[in-house]
């Protein structure tokens, strides 16, 4: 063939899954750094429906989490947000996420981005083996957690260092509940959205 048999170059799509309750600069810097290091064409942020790992916690309405994710990513031409997990309903399983993204985006190379804490749990995820065949996994450093290869077969994981931001959504929620500022931990528009919708005011 004209291209020497290499075939057409596939689009490289990063996938950043999360509860995003709320999205913060730790998520954003991780996605940005991985996009640069792995020459990704796009990173799609996918807010979860009801996360099965968090069934005993209170999670904000999906529409609020979705809108905050849109607000936080809107100015970056490489970032987008998908409603697939929210609209599917029910519990979110990452295998469904990846299958639905494939169906929507066609034949792309998928790169699933996950922090060190989430990566360490990956074998507890449903259909772990099938997941590894659908996407390349990229584990990123996160302060307070040790990043290591959990034993994903065939070089299916890369470990990368990203700028360290010791920020978690849990801490943001706690700060808002205590009346402490969250400016500069999350994008300005997200601070304003939290205030407008009165999110996280009552501790719990």
- Per CB under 6 A, residues contacting ligand ATP are 18-21, 26-27, 30, 114-115, 117-118, 140, 142, 165, 167-170
For ligand ATP, which is the closer residue by CB, 10 or 201?
201
Write the CB contacts of 137 (distance below 8 Å, at least 6 apart in sequence). Answer: 111, 112, 114, 119, 122, 152, 156, 157, 158
Q: Show the tokens assigned to 183.
A: 């400016």
- How far apart are CB 142 and ligand ATP at their closest, in Å? 4
Q: What is the DSSP string of 112-145?
A: EEEEHHHHHTGGGSTTHHHHHHH-EEEEE--TTS
Indicate the residue whose CB is closest to ligand ATP.
115
Comparing CB distances to ligand ATP, the nearer of 3 and 190 is 190
The pair of three-digit structure tokens given for residue 113, joined into one six-digit string: 């981005």
Q: Which is nearer to ligand ATP, 9 or 203 (CB)?
A: 203
10 versus 33: smaller Cβ distance to ligand ATP? 33
109 contacts 13 by C-beta, under 8 angstroms: yes
Is the sign of the CA dihedral 51, 58, 83, 184 positive or negative?
negative
Share of the chain residues as helix, strand and coil, in percent rounded to the nearest 5 = 40, 20, 40
Minimum distance of ligand ATP from residue 167's CB (angstroms): 5
Q: Which is nearer to ligand ATP, 133 or 170 (CB)?
A: 170
For ligand ATP, which is the closer residue by CB, 18 or 187? 18
Minimum Å distance from CB 14 to ligand ATP? 12
Nearest-angstrom CA–CA distance, 73 and 110: 19
For the CB of residue 21, give the shortest distance to ligand ATP in the complex, in Å.
6
Q: Locate 82 and state its tokens.
A: 């998908």
Count of positions (residues) in the chain: 204
Q: Smallest distance from the beta carbon of 124 to ligand ATP, in angstroms?
A: 14
**Least separation, in Å, of the C-beta of 77 and ligand ATP?**
21
């Amino acid at each position: 063939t004209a291209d020497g048999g290499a075939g057409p170059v596939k689009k490289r799509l990063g996938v950043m899954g999360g509860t995003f309750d709320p999205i913060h600069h730790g998520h954003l810097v991780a996605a940005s750094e991985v996009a640069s290091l792995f020459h990704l064409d796009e990173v799609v942020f996918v807010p979860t429906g009801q996360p099965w790992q968090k069934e005993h916690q209170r999670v904000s309405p999906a529409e609020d989490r979705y809108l905050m994710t849109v607000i936080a990513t809107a100015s970056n031409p490489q970032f987008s947000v998908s409603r697939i997990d929210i609209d599917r309903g029910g519990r979110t399983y990452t295998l469904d996420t990846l299958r639905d993204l494939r169906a929507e985006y066609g034949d792309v190379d998928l790169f699933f981005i996950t922090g060190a804490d989430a990566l360490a749990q990956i074998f507890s995820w449903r259909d772990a083996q099938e997941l590894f065949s659908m996407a390349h996994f990229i584990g990123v450093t996160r302060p307070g957690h040790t990043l290591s290869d959990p034993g994903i077969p065939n070089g299916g994981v890369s470990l990368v260092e990203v700028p360290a931001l010791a920020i978690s959504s849990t801490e943001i929620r706690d700060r808002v509940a205590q009346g402490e500022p969250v400016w500069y931990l999350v994008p300005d528009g997200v601070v304003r959205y939290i205030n407008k919708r009165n999110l996280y005011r009552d501790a719990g």
